[in-house]
Copies of this chain bind each other. A is one copy, B any other.
Amino acid sequence: MEFSSRLLENAVNEMAKLPGIGKRTALRLVLHLLRQPKHQTFQLSDALSKVREEINFCKSCHNISDKELCEICENPNRNKELICVVEDIRDVMAIENTSSFKGLYHVLGGKISPIDGVGPQDLNINSLVEKVKSGQVKELIFAMSPTMEGDTTNFYIFRQVQDYNIATSTIARGVAAGNELEYTDEITLGRSIIDRIPFEGSLKS
């Protein structure tokens, strides 16, 4: 791509470093900004550098937070003995949206993935094990995505905490609400039969 302006080229190149944004999309976005009032670009660029400069992570659960402890960890009504282990803060937001969970979270910040060069030492696993050791935790719920990396991460943590007297569970995997059986993949359908639950239990919403 040949640019008539260094400034434009530079902005497009920086924008194209974002995941899923190619050069053409980046150019479209930058040209859009050039057609908008200046303050829109300045607000965007300020917001980005500000969030990167000043962002804080909750010192207990590693969720993104403006304070030292996030609102969830600070909330006295949440069950501090129940900890849901998730990959990143998007999972916290997704689970919070369900209003089905009243415990705390622990954000790992990724999943073990040798292909991407992410090992256990790159994740917030030690602080989780420390929490378990301290005796404050009664149950860990593994809520990683059901992928190979997610399963590996679950298993790695399980091995670290299995000698302590806590319950461990994983979120249920099965046929999603509203899905047709015939279009469900074999692995999911097979597990949903093996992991079947008492019919009366399924009536609780």
A residues within 8 Å of B by Cβ?
1-8, 10-11, 13-15, 17-21, 25, 27-35, 38, 40-56, 58, 63-66, 70-72, 88-90, 92-93, 96-97, 109
Contact of A45 among B31, B48, B56 (CB under 8 A): B48
Contact of A34 among B38, B46, B55 (CB under 8 A): B55
How many copies make up the complex?
A: 2
B29 with A18: CB separation less than 8 A:
yes
- Distance between Cα atoms of A1 and B89 in the complex (Å): 12
Q: How far is the CB of A183 from chain B (nearest CB, A)?
A: 24
A66 with B6: CB separation less than 8 A:
yes
* Least CB separation from A41: chain B residue: B52
Closest 9 A-B residue pairs measured CB to CB?
A45-B45, A41-B52, A11-B51, A14-B44, A11-B47, A45-B49, A14-B47, A7-B51, A45-B48
A64 with B4: CB separation less than 8 A:
yes
Residue with the greatest number of chain B CB neighbours at <10 A, chosen from A31, A40, A51 = A51
Contact of A66 among B5, B17, B43 (CB under 8 A): B5
A29-B19 in contact given A4-B71, A7-B55, A55-B7 (Cβ < 8 Å): yes
